[in-house]
Amino acid sequence: MTDRFYVTTPIYYVNDRPHIGHAYCTVLADAARRYQALCGRRTYFVTGTDEHGQKVEQAAHKRGIDPQTHVDELHAAFKNLWPELGCDPDQFIRTTEPRHKAVVQRALQQLWDAGLIVAREFEGWYSTAAERFWTEKELVDGKCPDTGLPVVRLKEKNYFFLMSRYQQRLIAAIERGLQPRLPMEQSADPEREVLEIVPPGRANEVLGFLRQPLQDLCISRPKERLKWGIELPFDNDYVTYVWFDALLNYVTAVGGLGADPPGAGNRAAPAQDGRTPFETWWPSVTHFLGKDILTTHAVYWPTMLMALGLPIPRRMLATGWWLIDDTKMSKSLGNVVSPLSLKDKYGSEVLRYFLLREMPVGQDANFSEEALVRRNNSDLANDLGNLVQRVIALCVKNFDGKVPPPPDRRPSAALGEAIAYGTWLVNGTLPLQGSGMAQPIVETALQFKLHRTLADTMQLVQHLNGVLTSDAPFKTVREDKDAAALTLYHVLEGIRFAAHLLSPALPVASLEILRRIGWAHGVKPLAGLRWGDLEGGQSVVEGPPLFPKFEWIAPAASAAAAAPGAGAGAGAGAGAGAGAGAGAGAGAGTGAEAAPAAPMLPDVDISVFSQADLRVGLVLSAEPIPKSKKLLKLQIDLGEGQPRQILSGIAETVAPADLLGKQVLVIANLPPRLMMGLESRGMLLVAADAEGKRVPLHPARAVPNGSGVN
The DSSP-derived string for 348-369 is: HHHHHHHHHHHS-TTS-EE--H
Interacting residues of 107 by C-beta distance below 8 A, sequence separation 6+: 244, 248, 257, 304, 308
Round to whole Å and give the CA distance between 363 and 366.
Answer: 10
Is the distance from CB of 566 to CB of 574 less than 8 angstroms?
yes
Least distance to ligand MSP, CB of residue 312, Å: 15
Interacting residues of 576 by C-beta distance below 8 A, sequence separation 6+: 558, 588, 698, 700
Is the distance from CB of 283 to CB of 158 less than 8 angstroms?
no
The strand pair at 365-366 and 322-324 is best described as parallel
Least distance to ligand MSP, CB of residue 262, Å: 17
The strand pair at 285-290 and 4-13 is best described as parallel
**Closest CB to ligand MSP among residues 8, 487:** 8
Round to whole Å and give the CA distance between 339 and 23.
Answer: 7
**Closest CB to ligand MSP among residues 19, 452:** 19
Under DSSP, is residue 513 helix (H, G, I), strand (E, B) or coil?
Answer: helix
Least distance to ligand MSP, CB of residue 375, Å: 18
Return the residue nearest ligand MSP (CB atom). Answer: 290
Q: What letter does residue 290 receive in the DSSP assignment?
A: E
Least distance to ligand MSP, CB of residue 313, Å: 11
**Closest CB to ligand MSP among residues 367, 424:** 367
**Closest CB to ligand MSP among residues 25, 668:** 25
Least distance to ligand MSP, CB of residue 566, Å: 37
Least distance to ligand MSP, CB of residue 298, Å: 12
Least distance to ligand MSP, CB of residue 111, Å: 18
**Closest CB to ligand MSP among residues 41, 297:** 297
List Cα–Cα distances, 47 to 75, 164, 259, 675, in angstroms.
12, 30, 16, 41
Least distance to ligand MSP, CB of residue 98, Å: 19
**Closest CB to ligand MSP among residues 94, 516:** 94
Q: What are phi and psi of 452, to 5 degrees?
A: -70, -45
Least distance to ligand MSP, CB of residue 636, Å: 22
Under DSSP, is residue 401 helix (H, G, I), strand (E, B) or coil?
Answer: coil
**Closest CB to ligand MSP among residues 290, 507:** 290
Helix ranges restricted to H, 64-177: 67-79, 81-84, 98-113, 167-177
Question: Would you tell me how many other CB atoms lie within 10 Å of the CB of residue 410?
Answer: 8
**Closest CB to ligand MSP among residues 50, 456:** 50
Round to whole Å and give the CA distance between 427 and 442.
Answer: 8
**Closest CB to ligand MSP among residues 99, 693:** 99
Round to whole Å and give the CA distance between 398 and 477.
Answer: 8
**Sequence-distant contacts of 393-400: CB under 8 A, at least 24 apart:** 393/542, 394/473, 394/474, 394/477, 394/484, 394/488, 395/488, 395/492, 395/540, 396/540, 396/542, 398/477, 398/481, 398/484, 399/485, 399/488
Least distance to ligand MSP, CB of residue 301, Å: 8
**Closest CB to ligand MSP among residues 26, 648:** 26
Least distance to ligand MSP, CB of residue 26, Å: 9
Least distance to ligand MSP, CB of residue 439, Å: 25
Q: What letter does residue 302 receive in the DSSP assignment?
A: H
Closest of 230, 175, 225 to residue 200, by C-alpha: 175
Round to whole Å and give the CA distance between 624 and 647.
Answer: 10
Element (H, E) at 213: none
Round to whole Å and give the CA distance between 28 and 74.
Answer: 23
Round to whole Å and give the CA distance between 356 and 26.
Answer: 11
Closest of 517, 541, 532 to residue 405, by C-alpha: 532
**Closest CB to ligand MSP among residues 330, 538:** 330
**Closest CB to ligand MSP among residues 253, 651:** 253
Return residues touching ligand MSP (CB under 6 A).
Answer: 10-13, 16, 21-22, 24-25, 50, 246-247, 289-290, 292-293, 321-322, 328-329
**Closest CB to ligand MSP among residues 324, 495:** 324
Least distance to ligand MSP, CB of residue 102, Å: 18
**Closest CB to ligand MSP among residues 218, 247:** 247
Least distance to ligand MSP, CB of residue 468, Å: 38
- Identify the bridge partners of residue 648 per DSSP, sorted by sequence position: 632
